[in-house]
């Protein structure tokens, strides 16, 4: 009896000891997993931000998003650069070129282009072609090395310094094109017709000058010309000032030029629409929960006269929001050609001390529910004339067409007013 009891006691002691060892081992393993290195913590932070904000959570199930995190954290990641590369690999299955890691230099440059007035590089705004999966030129910045070299919207970037743009991806291609003023970069491009050209471009400080304006006059009418090259933080205020200046010059109508405006801060584009519309829907956003929030403009407007808006295939993102809101509310006629078709909104998040991550958090629809992504905006009046090499110049035939059309609208407004005055005279 005592022997059996002792054996049972010994057995229980062994089991208890084994359980302590197992639990202790598991605890140590948990501690080991929790105590991630700084490099792996960067990867985990990026995964968490995307997991919480990405606009299409159904994609997570399709690509086994949690498993991707697990496999990524099992890799040997010891340096910050290895962390960036691991994040790029982790994001690739999402198949969204706009959700991307931004290394310190790229993060700083993107912030400066959104908040500043100049940037160092060749002056190209890039996107990804949905069909060919190639890096595509959305637009060139006026007065930039790219524009001077004859690169136009619709061209494809094939190589940068001998490295394939397809291999680099959108973010790294853009990064390699930027750099210190005075340095050179070898770029190989192909046109939509298949012609391939190679050019040596010298990077320099490109003046973004986001808002430009002038007065157009003829014998009978005074028209304001307002060009917005991109939507940075300062643009809404600059637009307000520009319109006030034009109103002081007694302009009767306004030509808004959004050609080759590839976007920028969506909030700035919406703010400009708000200043031109009175209590009208500006845009609807569709987030990961499928909720559509209509943004309604204020009652007060900066300008309420007739308008024509010029767009082309370099008109994208925030500028398409503005153009779509003006068209759908019958506030402005759109003239030009089909726009680029970027209907996704990115949120910029800090990652670590110096880097960042851009995450697609929503898609947007025009007030009438048109989905711009991959389709673009169709102008009310298509122009088949060659686009100008210098926007706003005397050789700009698109601008001349807009001017003539706006003058015809002003003449139509003038006739009813004259008829009304004649009726009043007869009554008196």
Q: List the catalytic residues.
A: 317, 328, 342
* CA angle (122 as vertex; 353, 337 as ends), nearest 5: 110
DSSP string over 316-366: -THHHHHHHHHHHTTSSEEEES------EEEEEEEETTTEEEEEEEEEEE-
- Is residue 122 within 8 Å of 201, Cβ to Cβ? yes
Of residues 105, 101, 93, 143, the one with CA closest to residue 122: 143
Which residues, including other chains, have CB under 8 Å from residue 45's CB and lie 6 or more apart?
A: 351, 352
Instruction: Tokens 């110049």: give the residue.
Output: 393
- Is residue 345 within 8 Å of 266, Cβ to Cβ? yes
CA distance 356 to 231: 20
- Is residue 110 within 8 Å of 348, Cβ to Cβ? yes
- Is residue 365 within 8 Å of 292, Cβ to Cβ? yes
CA distance 368 to 324: 9
Written as six digits, the tokens of 301 are: 């407007």
């Amino acid at each position: 009896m005592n022997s059996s009891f002792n054996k049972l006691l010994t057995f229980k002691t062994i089991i208890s000891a084994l359980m302590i060892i197992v639990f202790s081992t598991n605890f140590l393993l948990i501690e080991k997993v929790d105590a991630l290195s700084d490099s792996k913590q960067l990867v985990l932070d990026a995964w968490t931000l995307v997991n919480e904000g990405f606009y299409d959570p159904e994609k997570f199930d399709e690509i086994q998003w949690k498993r991707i995190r697990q496999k990524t954290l099992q890799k040997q990641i010891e340096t910050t650069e290895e962390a960036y590369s691991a994040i790029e690999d982790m994001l690739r299955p999402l198949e969204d070129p706009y959700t991307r890691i931004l290394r310190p230099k790229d993060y700083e440059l993107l912030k400066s282009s959104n908040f500043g007035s100049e940037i160092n590089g060749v002056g190209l705004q890039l996107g990804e072609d949905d069909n060919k999966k190639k890096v595509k030129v959305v637009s060139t910045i006026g007065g930039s090395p790219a524009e001077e070299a004859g690169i136009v919207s619709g061209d494809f970037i094939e190589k940068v310094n001998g490295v394939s743009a397809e291999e680099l991806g959108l973010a790294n291609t853009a990064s390699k094109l930027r750099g210190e003023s005075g340095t050179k970069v070898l770029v190989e491009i192909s046109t939509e017709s298949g012609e391939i050209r190679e050019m040596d471009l010298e990077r320099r400080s490109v003046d973004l000058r986001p808002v430009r304006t002038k007065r157009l006059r003829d014998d009978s009418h005074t028209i304001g010309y307002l060009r917005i090259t991109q939507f940075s933080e300062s643009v809404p205020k600059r637009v307000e000032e520009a319109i006030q200046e034009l109103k002081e010059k007694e302009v009767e109508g306004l030509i808004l030029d959004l050609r080759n405006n590839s976007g920028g801060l969506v909030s700035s584009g919406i703010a400009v629409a708000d200043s031109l519309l009175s209590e009208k829907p500006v845009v609807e956003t569709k987030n990961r929960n499928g909720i559509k929030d209509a943004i309604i403009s204020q009652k007060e407007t900066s300008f309420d006269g007739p308008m024509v808006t010029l767009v082309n295939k370099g008109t994208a993102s925030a500028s398409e929001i503005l153009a779509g809101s003006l068209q759908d509310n019958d506030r402005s006629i759109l003239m030009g050609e089909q726009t680029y078709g970027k209907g996704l909104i990115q949120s910029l998040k800090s990652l670590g001390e110096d880097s960042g991550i851009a995450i697609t958090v929503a898609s947007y629809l025009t007030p009438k529910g048109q989905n711009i992504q991959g389709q673009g905006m169709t102008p009310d009046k298509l122009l088949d004339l060659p686009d100008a090499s210098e926007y706003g110049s005397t050789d700009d035939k698109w601008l001349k067409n807009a001017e003539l059309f706006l003058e015809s609208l002003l003449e139509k407004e003038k006739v009813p007013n004259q008829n009304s005055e004649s009726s009043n005279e007869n009554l008196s």
